[in-house]
Amino acid sequence: MSELERKLAGSGLVVTGELPIVDGGGLDAVRAKLEQYAPWVDAVNATDNTAAHAHASNLAVAIALKMLGVEPIMQVVCRDKNRLAIQADIVGAALHGIENISCLTGDDVTAGDEREARRVFDLDGPQVIVTAAALARGEYLSGRKLEPAPHLFIGAVENPGAPPLAYRAQRALKKARAGARFLQLQICYQPEQLEAFCAEGARIGLFQHTALLPSICLVAGARPLEFMDADVPGISVPAATIERVKNAADPREEAFELAVEQARHALAQPGVRGLHLISFRKDDAVGRLCERLGIPTTKERDASGHGSAVTV
Amino acid sequence: MKPLALIEKAVKGPIWGCQMCGQCVLHSTGMTCPMNCPKTLRNGPCGGVRANGNCEVKPEMRCVWLKGFERAEGMPALPKHWREEYNDMRPPVDNRLKNTSSWANFLSKRDRQTPAGWKPGDDG
């Protein structure tokens, strides 16, 4: 059983982080990128060609995290690989003791810098969950036996802020029924959308199956918010939010305060078991955010047996 | 393409933009063909739908899956069980059926054959 699985089975707060992209530099580079997250997170995402740009692979980075003593969550996207390659990656990850898998459809090639590439999407996000569940059961998608069956802890992603808003909780439930035990929600800059998603999730029984980890992005000013609004598929940032950060006396600090507010709000929603932190900053923002929220370090949380729910 | 497939293409192409995947799910997706989704998702919509409801890949096109959702919700002509199938887990596309007639595959049940390991049963 992975640590993440064990912790989500408990009642304490869980924090995951998203490792910035890795292009090289060996374990030292990975260690440096981990630095701001390390004291605070239970597990770290190894991304899969994020934003449709090629980088060191999800599997390679997940292994590096493992070597550095950090629990990895290997993201798997559908854009670049067919069902054979996706299964090989998951089974290969399990071979290295990587059990946490986060399944997502992924941005299209047109979101990246190699737009002429062939898009694959042989499977879609929900189908990868079913496929991973098959592997964990001890068979490949073809039905061929897989022995020994790898132990997997399967998760996925859902976007509470993309149309059709009324369907998103149902789609999350579809993923949960397929075997997703945690959902790292995409960053949502409209609190009322996250609220509606969580309320609907509670109504339809989503949280009997799965734990929510809403994403919180740590940025250093208004420009990254404008970028996300314009260029990140499925993310929209209200003009008033961008203005607020832009017109503040200290935009950098205002962007941080925005994240604190978002995190507090997210943690107050039903079904939310923790946070997924994505830092685009190179300072100590992750640590400051956790301190402001009253989240102890991972070590302290572990020592207290994860029992203490955080009051926000 | 065989004659029946050609007829199917001639009928369904102009109306639904049929891509001849040979395993039609149109009735369960609000009479909107998911193969017109640039990612050819069988279990959409993805998380990239724009705030205005348009596609992440083709900004001028309304999301195929959003259109299907609205039709599944609001098209009184659709039988209730078809509308409820919108949220079903659809299996991966069988690429061998490309350019064959989904009508023939429906009658022979070939379109419902899935890989032996595909067991999407309620895992919750």
The CA–CA distances, whole Å, from A197 to A232, A272, B55 equal: 21, 11, 21
Residues in chain A closer than 8 A to B25 (CB atoms):
none
**Cβ–Cβ below 8 Å for A124 and B39:** yes
Q: How confident is the model at residue B79 (pLDDT cuts 50, 70, 90)?
A: confident
Distance CA A304, CA A296 (A): 10
Residue carrying the six token digits 């039609």: B24
Domain residue spans in chain A?
A: 3-303
For an interface test with B, the pick among A87, A103, A140, A141 (most B C-beta atoms closer than 10 Å) comes out as: A141
Q: Which residues of A touch B118 (CB under 8 A)?
A: 130, 134, 141
Residue B54 β-bridge partners:
B62
Q: Is B13 helix (H, G, I), strand (E, B) or coil?
A: helix
Q: Which residues of chain A have pLDDT under 70?
A: 305-312
Closest approach of chain B CAs to the CA of A109, in angstroms? 9
CA distance A234 to chain B (A): 4
What number is the ipTM of this complex? 0.95
Structure tokens at A86: 């996706």
pLDDT band at B124 (very low <50, low <70, confident <90, very high): very low
Please, what CATH class does the domain formed by A3-303 belong to?
Answer: alpha beta
CA distance A67 to A10: 26
Q: What is the pTM of this model?
A: 0.95
CA proximity to A17, closest of A50, A49, A39, A48: A39
The phi, psi pair for B103, rounded to 5°, reads -65, -50
CA distance, residue B9 to nearest chain A CA (Å): 23
Nearest beta carbon to residue A139 from set B69, B117, B122: B117
What residues of B are in contact with residue A236 (Cβ under 8 Å)?
Answer: 50-51
B43 contacts chain A (CB < 8 A): yes
Q: Which residues of chain B make contact with A104, given a CB cutoff of 8 A? A: 47
Whether the CB-CB separation of B71 and B30 falls below 8 Å is answered with yes
B48 contacts in A (CB within 8 Å)?
107-108, 111, 159, 162, 233-234
Question: How far does CA A202 lie from the centroid of its chain?
Answer: 21
| pLDDT attached to residue B121 | 74
Give A128→chain B minimum CA distance, Å: 9
Alpha carbon distance A145, B116 (integer Å): 11
pLDDT for A306 = 54
Chains A and B form CB pairs within 8 A to the count of 124
CA-nearest residue of chain A to B71? A164
For B51-71, what is each residue's pLDDT tens digit? 999 999 999 999 999 999 998
Confidence of residue B123 (pLDDT cuts 50, 70, 90): low
Contact between B43 and A126 using a beta-carbon 8 Å cutoff: yes
Residues of chain B in contact with residue A177, where contact means CB-CB under 8 angstroms, are 89, 122-124
Contacts of B41 in chain A (CB under 8 A): 105, 121, 124
Contact B39/A at CB under 8 A: yes
Give the per-residue pLDDT at A305.
67
The reported pLDDT for the residue numbered B49 is 97
Q: What is the DSSP letter of B59?
A: T
A84-132 residue pLDDT tens: 999 999 999 999 999 999 999 999 999 999 999 999 999 999 999 999 9
Inter-axis angle of helices A239-246 and A251-267, to 10 degrees? 140
